[in-house]
Amino acid sequence: DLPQIITVDDYRPLLVSEVYDRNGVKIGEFFREKRILAPYEQIPEHLVQAFISAEDSSFFEHDGLNFIAIFRAMVANIRAGRKVQGGSTITQQVARSLLLSSEKTYTRKIKEAVLARRMEDHLSKKEIMYLYLNQIYLGQGAYGVGAAAEIYFRKPVQELTVAESALLAGLPQAPSRYSPIYNPSSAKARQRYVLTRMAEEGYITQADAETNINTPLQVYVRKNYKEEAPYFIETVRQLLVEKLGEVEVLDKGIKVYTGLDINKQREAQLQVQNSLRDLDKRQGFRGPTNNIIDAEEVAKFLLDTRDKLLDELSPVRVIQPDGSIDDKGPLNLTGKNENGETLPSLPDYVNIDQIIDGVVTDVNDEWGLVTVRFAEGKGLIDIESMEWARKPDPKKSSQWDKIDKPSLALKKGDIIQVRPIAKTFRSSRVDKMLSELKQKKGKNYERPETLPEFDEFAELLLEQEPVAQGSLISFDQNTEDVLAMVGGYDFEKSEFNRTLQAARQTGSAFKAIVYASAMDKNYTPATPILDAPVVFEEEKQVDEGQENVDPEITKWKPSNHGKKFSGEVLFRNALIKSMNIPTVKIIEDIGVDWVEQYARRLDIFSPLNHDFTLALGSSGVTLYEMTKAFSIFGRLGKALHPILIQKVENNSGQQIHDKITLDERFAKELTPLHEEFEKKRQAILAGLEPEQNEGSTTPGADQPNASD
């Protein structure tokens, strides 16, 4: 019951599918196994030689099995009491990887040996090596040398050096143990072994081996692109799986081209995050995340913070010939490193407006300043910029409830978030205090010892991670492309896409739909509307069996902002000023059902309140629905169908699918609504009363007229 031997033409490995923005920038990947198929012609000869030297030195001589190697491995393992050496040939490894399970049994080993012999009969050595180098797992999620070259060295496989090839060839035996990312010393030792074996096999000279051993090795610790549009990418994945199936999306190496603009996406993400932070500050300061006083703990915190910032800035690590990695000395609280060098106020790896963690080292109420250390930098927070940092109290307004001393919010040792806004601290408030002190002291003036030297400190703002959430979506009015999509503050902490899934009350934004629907009922900008107090009464329905109970009367009295009334106003002025009562009177006149039908015609599919409060935005609607509806106004009545995907190509470059719109994401919700709308429209045209139609039913021309 042995499986059939595959040919190179039969080889269908799992590949990586890639997603691109409108300018060809890669913005995402989908895969089960990270693999970039490398044709044999593109694989350097020294890479093949490195793997042969490390894994199977007699590869070109044996016929699938190497009995000497098997016996040698068996003896070594018996002596060690555990498996320390393998005897499998490269052909056996290919047979195991492609045709057999990973179970460790004698039966599988026998099958593996038989299949290896058969493979040697059916495939050339070159074909076996091609399968091996594309199938082997090399750590960090990399399957095959193509993916490994990109992940570790950010280069195509054909550009790998001898030193880099030797490092990769040392990985198959134990990818984690010899990982250059997590175990650089072991990785270097293994590379040294492979280079030595290459010299012993005659592939390189001993001098070449020594040169490559003594060459620092630059490796990358993370992927070569940032996933800067995670909510968008996840939406793309969901739609593709629905259209093409999971196998096609995750395994086949398709190319997905979208209309997203990654530059606009970055700006959108930044604006959402900044807006949420500003909103969050108005709620007050929730306090530091931790407090540490011990000097060693503080030094470790600063060192860890620096390493984290460096990791984010530079993905490169340089492995030295001895297996060590370049690193900077530990920090202390004197503002100098271990070599006695004064540290800059803002290190070159910290950007202006970058949110970073810091530790409070001094709180100075006298001058209203907070001193903060972060990584290798230091800065000051002015009380004027942290007046918002009161304790949260929903009963108090942030406009009036402010702090006037930094000690009311912070103390020494507090771990906080800060944002540098200038490399050098400046404060007009402190300058004024100094000026007054100079006038008072006259010739006896000396700069107070308690006041830091501003030139040595960066200017910082106190920050905190917001608990509120927000979203943003942007469409190109001309091409209909989705340009940017931000579904929340941080995708890693919440994958819930608030752009498409969160229904929030629209408030006054819904008034535009009310006024637009009214203009389809013969209202004009000059139509007069009375802005005067009004009260609506409604009888609450009596439950079955309680017919003798008097019905409860509920009252609703809408009001304008400021509780003021303007008497008779024009339609256009009521819209411009977003007046509540005229809007309610419009919906009273044209009917709730009419407005609801109009909203449905604009593809608003969320449930809508079937009462007059609908006019003031009492219903929960998604941002996607509202943005799409408003796009119709900007397109002069022409509906917009947001394009998520421009086209999809297979691994050979052939187009397998054309445009996919976001409408298709909501087809299940939209189709019944369109059918319901058409049913009501046909009933009205036939002069019939639609079911549950409480609005006006004037036939024909009075129907909502939003264009498709």
How does pLDDT run across 451-501, given as a tens digit for each residue? 998 989 999 999 999 999 999 999 999 999 999 999 999 999 999 999 999
Classify residue 169 as exposed, middle or buried by CB count within 10 Å of its CB (0-12, 13-18, 19+).
Answer: buried
- Phi, psi dihedral angles at 621 (to 5 degrees): -135, 145
3-state class (DSSP) for residue 425: coil
Answer whether 335's CB lies under 8 Å from 342's CB: yes
Separation between Cα atoms, residue 36 and residue 34, nearest integer Å: 7
Q: What is the pairing mode between strands 620-622 and 503-505?
A: antiparallel
Domain 290-463: which topology? OB fold (Dihydrolipoamide Acetyltransferase, E2P) (2.40.50)
Separation between Cα atoms, residue 78 and residue 377, nearest integer Å: 56
Answer whether 410's CB lies under 8 Å from 403's CB: no
pLDDT band at 697 (very low <50, low <70, confident <90, very high): very low
pLDDT tens-place string over residues 101-112 = 566 656 667 777
- Phi, psi dihedral angles at 212 (to 5 degrees): -70, -35
Per the model's pLDDT, the better-predicted residue between 673 and 68 turns out to be 68
DSSP β-bridge partners for residue 318: 218
Answer whether 191's CB lies under 8 Å from 210's CB: no
Backbone dihedral region for residue 545 (phi beyond 0: left; psi -120 to 50: alpha; all else: beta): left
pLDDT tens-place string over residues 277-295 = 999 999 999 999 999 999 9
pLDDT tens-place string over residues 310-351 = 777 667 888 999 998 864 433 433 444 445 555 568 888 888
| CATH code for the domain defined by 33-220 | 1.10.3810.10
Q: Per-residue pLDDT for 248 more than 90? A: yes
Answer whether 345's CB lies under 8 Å from 373's CB: no
Q: What are the boundaries of each domain within the chain?
A: 1-30+229-285, 33-220, 290-463, 502-651+659-702
Domain 1-30+229-285: which topology? Penicillin-binding protein 2a (Domain 2) (3.90.1310)
Helix axes 592-601, 511-519, angle to 10 degrees: 100
Selecting from 3.40.50.2300, 3.90.1150.10, 1.10.10.60, 3.40.710.10, what CATH number does the domain 502-651+659-702 have?
3.40.710.10
- Give the pTM: 0.81
Separation between Cα atoms, residue 376 and residue 336, nearest integer Å: 8
Give 624's contacts (C-beta < 8 A, 6+ positions apart): 473, 499, 500, 642, 662, 666
